[in-house]
Structure 1
Amino acid sequence: MNVPLLIARRYFFSKKKRNIISIISNISMVGVAVGTMALIIVLSVFNGLEDLVRGLYGKSDPDLMISAVQGKSFPVDSAFIDRITAVPGVALVTQVIEDNALLQYHDRQMVVKMKGMSENYFAQSNIDSAIVEGDHRLVRDGQDYALLGAGVQHELSIALDNRLSPLRLLYPRNTGKKLLSMNPETAFNEQAILAGGVFLIEQRIDDSYIFVPLEFARDLLLYGNRRTSLEVRVGDQHYVDDVKEELRQLLGPKFQVLNSDEQHVSLLKAIKVEKMFVFITFAFILLIASLNIFFSLSMLVIDKKKDVAILRAMGATTQLIRNIFLLEGAIVAMVGAITGLVLGVGICWLQQTFHLVSMGMATAVVDSYPVQMQAMDIVLTGLAIIVITVSVSIRPALNAARLDVRDNL
C-alpha cells in the first residue's frame, strides 16, 4: 500500500480542510485547467496552420526540385534528363524556366514571376484543381496560353482569351553593357500570349505568378538549353527522402535537391519558432497559475502540523512526510491538467468537426481556423506540468519534513 498517496488523497478529499485552503486549491486547479486547455488549443492551431501551408503549396510544388547551387540556371540535355529518370523512384521530370518579366495589358503593367513549364507539368501537379476560371491547358490547337494568378488578373483587369489585346511580356536583353538602352525596341525582348485561365492557390503566388509554356519562356528569355530548375515527381511506392538522397549522390555538390518543406523552409521555420515561443509563454502562465499550489500547500503544512508530528512519532521517515505533500500538490495539478486536456481536446475536436470559429475574412483561403492535434503536444504539455508541479511543491514538502515533533504534539 502506498501510504503517502493514501494520506495525500485523504487530505485532498477531506471536508475538514480550512475554507481558505480549499478555495486556494480550487483556484489552483482552475488555473492549471485553463492554462492547459489554452496551450493545447493554441498549439493545435499552429499545427493546423503548418498543415494548411503545406496543403496550399502542395498544389503547385513538386515532390523534389533540382536547382544549381551557384548561378540562376544550368544546361540541360536529353542525356542529363535520362540520368535523372533512371534513378529508382523518379516517375516524372519537368523542365522549368522561371524569371521576372514585365507584363503589359492595355495601358497597365506590372512585374511578374514568369514560370515556363514543359508539357508534362500537369501530370505531376494538382494545379489544375486550383483553376477558378478558364482552362488549365497551356497549349490549345497550336496556340500558346498563359495561366494567371488571381491577383495578377485583378491588378491588370485582364480578360481571358482576348485575341484583340493579348498579354505582352518583356524581358531585358543581355547586351553585355552596363547601361540599358533607352529605346524599348532594342532594350527588351517582347512576346505576346493569350490569357487562358486563372488560378487561386496562395496569396503570394496568386499576386505575382503567371505560368506559360516552356518554349515561350525559352524564346523570350533566350535561355536555349538552360533551365532554372527541374521538378521531380516521386512514384507512389517510394519514399521522397530516399529518392532525394539518390539524386544528391548522382548530381554531386553543384546541385541541390529540395523536398517540399525545404522549398519553403523559411516560412515553415517561422511557424515552428512562433509555436515554440507560444509554448514557452504559456508554460510561464502555467507556472504563475501553479503558484497557488505553493500557497495552498504551505497553508496545509501549517494546518497539519499535529498530523505530521503524530506520523513522525509513529516512525514515519522524512522522505515519507515529504512525499505526502509532493503527492498532494501533484493531485491538485493532475486534476486541473486532466480537466484542461479534456476541455482542450474537446474544443479542438468540435472545431475540426463543426468549424465553429471562422477566419472572419472574405479573402481567407479557408472558412474556419485550421486545427490539428498532435500527441507530442499533449506529451510536452504533460511534462511541463510535471516539472512546474514539482518546482512549486518541493519547498512546502521540505518544510513539512523538517517540522519538530516536540513542538507540535
Structure 2
Amino acid sequence: MNVSLLIARRYFSSKKKRNIISIISNISMIGVAVGTMALIIVLSVFNGLEDLVRTLYGKSDPDLLITAVEGKSFPVNNILLNQLRTAPGVSLVTEVIEDNALLQYHDRQMVVKMKGVTGNYFAQTNVDSSIVEGDHRLRRGGEAYALIGAGVQHELSIALDNRFSPLRLLYPRNTGKRMLSMNPENAFSEQSILAGGVFLIEQQIDNSYVFVPLDFAQELLQYGDRRTALEVRVAEGYPVAATQVDIQRLIGPKFRVLNSDEQHVSLLKAIKVEKMFVFITFAFILLIASLNIFFSLSMLVIDKRKDIAILMAMGATNRTVRNVFLLEGAIVALVGAVVGLVLGMTICWLQQTFGLVSMGMATSVVDSYPVKMQSSDIILTSIAIIVITISVSIRPALNASRLDVRENL
C-alpha cells in the first residue's frame, strides 16, 4: 500500500487528533457536502427548465423552419414546394404567413400575431392536443374559423361561434404611397372571422397568437405568392440534423433552415448562460467552504511536526510528506463530496418522483419545479471539487515538506 495514503488515512480516522482540528475537519466535510448538494440540485433545476421550454414550444414548433435570410417574406412557387416535398426525410411541408395584425372584438382591441397556415398544419404540430374549448379545425363547412390563444380570449372576452360579433382583423394597406390616407377606412384592409377554438400552450403564445387559414391571411395581408416561412416535418427514422443539412444544400444560401433549438436560440442560450453563472457562483461558495480544509491541514501540520521529523529521519522524501497532507485534504473533500452527491441526487429523485416543491403559481403548466440530472453536471462538479481541494491543500502540504528535522525531533 502507498505509504502516504496509509498515513493520511490514519490521520483522518485517528481519535487522538486534537479536538479543534477534528471540529474544523468535520466542518470542512459538511461544507463540501452542502455545497456539492446545492450545486447538483440547482444545475438539475436548470436542466429541467431547459427541457420544459423544449416541451412547451415543441407543441407548436415544426421540426425544421425555413425562413429568408434577408427580408420578412419570400416568393414560393410549385417548383420550390415540389423540391421540398420530394426531398429525402421530408414528410410534410406547411406554408405559413405570419405578421402582426390588429384584432377587434366589440369595443376592445389588441395587437396579435396572426399566423395563416395551410390545412395540413395540425398534422405538422401538436397544437390540436392543446385545445381547451371549441374545435381546432380552421375550415368547417367551407367557412373560415380562427383558433385563438387562451390569453387573447381572456383579454378580449371572446365568445366562440358568435355570428353576431365575429372577430375583426385589420392590417395596414400596402399602397406604395409615402403619404398615408387621411381616411382611416382606406388605410387598413379588414376581414371578419369567427372564433372556433381556444388553445393553451405557453403563456407567450397564448397571449398573442391567432391561427387562421392561409388564404384568409393571404387576402388580408395582400401577400400574394409570398410566404414568411415554410415548416417541415421530418419523416420517422430520418435524423433531423441530416435532413436539415440536405434541405439547406437543396434550397441554397438565400434561405435559413432552423431546427427546434435554433428557433428559440435566444431563450435557450439565456438559460445556459444563467446555468454557467450559477455554476461559477456555487463553485466560489464551495471554495469558501473548502477553506476550512486549509485551516485544518495547517493545524494538523503544526500538531504532527514531530511525526513528520521522524518520518524524514527514517528516510521519507519531501514528496512523500507532501503527499500525506495532499491526500489528507483529498480524503476530507472526497467524503464530503460523496455525501453531497448522494444527498443531491436523492433530493432530485424525490422531486422528480413526488414533486415535493411546487411552482407556487396557479397558472403554471407544471405543478412542481422540473428537475433533470445529467452526468455532465456530476463530472463538472467533481472536477471543480478536485481543483478546489488541490488549491487549498497544496500550501499546508508544502509547509510540511519543508520542516527542519533537527528542530522538531
Task: Tell whether 2:294 aligns with 1:294.
Answer: yes
1:253 deviation in Å? Answer: 1.1
TM superposition shift of 1:182: 3.3
Q: Distance in 1 between matches of 2:369 and 2:328?
A: 39
1:180, CA displacement in angstroms? 2.2
Report 1:125-144 matches (<5 A).
125-144=125-144
CA distance in structure 2 between the partners assigned to 1:342 and 1:281 by the alignment: 21
Q: How far has the Cα of 1:184 moved from its partner?
A: 2.8
* Residue equivalent to 1:71: 71
Render the CA deviation track for 1:276-316: whole Å, top value 9, x for unaligned.
Answer: 00000000000000000000000000000111111101100
Deviations 1:133-154 (A, max 9, x none): 1111111111111010111000
CA–CA separation in structure 2 for the residues paired with 1:132 and 1:382? 46
In structure 2, distance between residues paired with 1:351 and 1:180: 59
In the alignment, which residue of structure 1 is the partner of 2:100?
Answer: 100
1:58-87 residue CA offsets vs partner (Å, 9 max, x unmatched): 000000000100111111111110111121
Matched position secondary structure for 1:119: coil
Quote the Cα distance in structure 2 between the aligned partners of 1:2 and 1:179: 88
CA shift digits 1:88-147 (9 cap, x unpaired): 101100000000111010111111000000000011100111111111111111111101
Tell me how large the CA RMSD over aligned residues is: 0.7
* One-letter code aligned to 1:5: L
* One-letter identity of the residue aligned with 1:114: M
Distance, in Å, in 1 between the alignment partners of 2:189 and 2:212 is: 16
Partner deviation per Cα, 1:162-196 (whole Å, 9 max, x = no partner): 01110011111011122322323211111110001
Segments of structure 2 that go 5 or more residues without pairing to the other structure are: none
What amino acid sits opposite 1:181 in the alignment? S
Could you give the per-residue CA deviations for residues 359-399 of structure 1, whole angstroms, max 9, x where no partner exists?
00111111100000000000000000000000000000000
2-structure distance, mates of 1:254, 1:385 = 48
Q: In the comparison of the two structures, how many residue pairs are matched? A: 409
Residue of structure 1 in register with 2:396 after alignment: 396
Q: What is the distance in 1 between the residues matched to 2:33 and 2:379?
A: 16
Q: Distance in 1 between matches of 2:86 and 2:2?
A: 65
| Structure 2 residue aligned with 1:155 | 155
Cα distance in 2 for residues equivalent to 1:43 and 1:370: 11
State the one-letter code of the partner of 1:67.
T
SS at match of 2:258: strand
**Corresponding residue number in structure 1 for 2:350:** 350
Tell me, in whole angstroms, the C-alpha distance in 2 between the residues paired with 1:240 and 1:67.
17
Letter paired with 1:353: T
**Which aligned segments of 4 or more residues in structure 1 are displaced greater than 3 angstroms?**
none
- After superposition, residues 240-389 of structure 1 pair within 5 angstroms as 240-389=240-389
SS in 2 for 1:212: strand
Give the whole-Å Cα distance in 2 for the aligned partners of 1:178 and 1:340.
67
Secondary structure at the counterpart of residue 341 of structure 1:
helix
The answer to whether structure 1 residue 4 and structure 2 residue 4 are counterparts is yes
Query: What are structure 1's unaligned runs of at least 5 residues?
Result: none
The two structures have a TM-score, normalised by structure 1, of: 0.99
Deviations for 1:23-60, whole angstroms, at most 9, x for unmatched residues? Answer: 00000000000000000000000000000000000000
Query: Which string of whole-angstrom CA distances, capped at 9 and with x for unpartnered residues, describes residues 217-241 of structure 1?
Result: 0011111111000000001111111
Distance of 1:184 and 1:144 partners within structure 2:
26
Matched, 1:208 2:211: no
Q: 1:332 Cα shift?
A: 0.3
Letter in 2 for 1:162: N
